[in-house]
Structure formats: structure tokens, C-alpha cells
């Protein structure tokens, strides 16, 4: 008794239709989606005694100030305010400042979990 195995995915009979003149498939040009290709890194905020580390895309896409802040050339990216936990963006404290619980609720609205 002789068993013959058949290939599961046989090649198409006419290879010239799916390949270029060099024998390789021509790949379509890849485009970045204008809405959902996010060039995002993270930003660190200090509110009272709490640190928040969140994607910066909501801030850079909606605020010219944040967008410009993160586009400025820097000698060392860690030195950029908000780029690390050692140099967070510090929000004002005190009676007229921001409470961490209020900022957390704001983050919940921007980044629902």
C-alpha cells in the first residue's frame, strides 16, 4: 500500500499573474491611517503626591501647546518636562490648584479602562 501526500496549498497554475517580472510578488504601498495611526509616547504628570503616566496622544492631538512642547528638539529626551517620572509636569497645588482625584477623573474620561 502506497500513500501519496497532496500539498494542501498548491501553487496557482499561472504564476505570471501574481508576480512581477523578477518573480517576486509586488506588495501594495503601505499607508498610515490618518485617524488611527498614533505616534504616541507617554507623558508623566505630578498632581499633589501622585504620578500619572499616560499616552500623550490625547494631549498632543488636541493642544497646540502640548504638541509644540513635545516636538521641540532636545539634547536629551529625558530632560523634556513630562518625559519621565524624574521630571514630570507638575500641576499647581493648593486651594486654587488641582486635586489628584479630580485629575484622575479627567484621565478616566480621556482614557476609559
> Which positions ≥6 away from 74 have C-beta within 8 Å?
80
Longest dimension (CA), the chain: 90
State the average pLDDT for the chain. 79
Encode pLDDT of 14-40 as tens digits: 554 555 556 678 888 998 887 777 777
Binned at pLDDT 50, 70 and 90, residue 51 comes out as very high
pLDDT digits (tens, 9 = 90+) for 1-12: 555 555 555 555
Sequence spans of domains, the chain: 42-113
Contact in structure between 76 and 31 (CB atoms under 8 Å)? no
- Whole-angstrom CA distances from 20 to 9, 14, 17, 30, 39 are 21, 12, 8, 18, 33
19 contacts: CB under 8 Å, gap ≥ 6 = 25, 26
Question: Residue 98 — pLDDT band, cuts 50, 70, 90?
Answer: very high
Prediction pTM value: 0.63
Q: Given this model, what pLDDT does residue 105 score?
A: 95
Amino acid at each position: 500500500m502506497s500513500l501519496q501526500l497532496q500539498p494542501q496549498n498548491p501553487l496557482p497554475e499561472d504564476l505570471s499573474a501574481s508576480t512581477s517580472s523578477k518573480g517576486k510578488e509586488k506588495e501594495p504601498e503601505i499607508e498610515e491611517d490618518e485617524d488611527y495611526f498614533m505616534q504616541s509616547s507617554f507623558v508623566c504628570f505630578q498632581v499633589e503626591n501622585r504620578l500619572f503616566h499616560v499616552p500623550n496622544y490625547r494631549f498632543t492631538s488636541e493642544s497646540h501647546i502640548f504638541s509644540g512642547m513635545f516636538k521641540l528638539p532636545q539634547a536629551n529626551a529625558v530632560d523634556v518636562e513630562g518625559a519621565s517620572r524624574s521630571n514630570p509636569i507638575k500641576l499647581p497645588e493648593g486651594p486654587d490648584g488641582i486635586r489628584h482625584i479630580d485629575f484622575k477623573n479627567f484621565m478616566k474620561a480621556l482614557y476609559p479602562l
